[in-house]
Amino acid sequence: MKSLANSISLTRIFLALALVVVKPLGIAFLSIYLICGMSDVLDGYIARKTDTASKLGEKLDSIADLILVVILIAVLFPLLTITVQILAWVIIIGIIRAVSMLVVFAKYKTFGILHTYGNKITGLVLFAFPLSLAFVPSEVVVMFIMCAVASLSAVEELLIHLSSHELQANRKSLFLK
């Protein structure tokens, strides 16, 4: 039971990689994608409920999330009509996230992404994006909302890292310890 949550996170990494070889937004893609989403919720839940949460598990979860996001960008980017403003906004968010990771590495000599409420909401919005493509007539509106939420959480995480004296992977917010 101790490694079940970590096994689920590792499985999400392999499933995310499988998204590269299936038809984007097809049945197989959406099925694998939904399993990835369920595994993201399930790994943390199992770790907390079985009292097997660990630093390794936190890192595996963050790495699995990062791999999934990068693969989604690579697979879905060619299918989208992205304005220059949205593209610039996404690049800025990426830069803020990269600076945040560099701050963590410089201060704590490790990799770390926080599990803040902002990052969880961003994750939910990002997760909903491919699903919304089938139902929302204007992907630009959805991308604007996604970028706004992602910007707030990226800035919040960077501010937490800059103001903290220790890595607090499970810190919920800039305003909550």
For residue 158, pLDDT over 80 is answered with yes
pLDDT, residue 81, reads: 83
For residue 14, pLDDT over 80 is answered with yes
Check if the beta carbon of residue 67 is closer than 8 Å to that of residue 16. yes
Q: What is the mean pLDDT of residues 97-123?
A: 90
Confidence class of residue 151 from pLDDT cuts 50, 70 and 90?
Answer: very high
Q: 122-135: b or e for each residue (b if 16 or more CB lie within 10 Å)?
A: bbebbbbbbebeee
Residues in CB range of 42: below 8 A, 6 or more apart: 8
For residue 1, pLDDT over 70 is answered with no
Q: What is the pLDDT of residues 27-69, one digit of tens each?
A: 999 999 999 999 988 988 888 888 888 888 888 888 898 899 8
DSSP for 54-106 reads -HHHHHHHHHHHHHHHHHHHHHHGGGS---HHHHHHHHHHHHHHHHHHHHHHH
For residue 148, pLDDT over 80 is answered with yes
pTM of the predicted protein model: 0.73
Confidence class of residue 97 from pLDDT cuts 50, 70 and 90?
Answer: very high
Q: What is the mean pLDDT of residues 82-109?
A: 93
pLDDT, residue 2, reads: 60
pLDDT, residue 55, reads: 80
Check if the beta carbon of residue 161 is closer than 8 Å to that of residue 103. yes
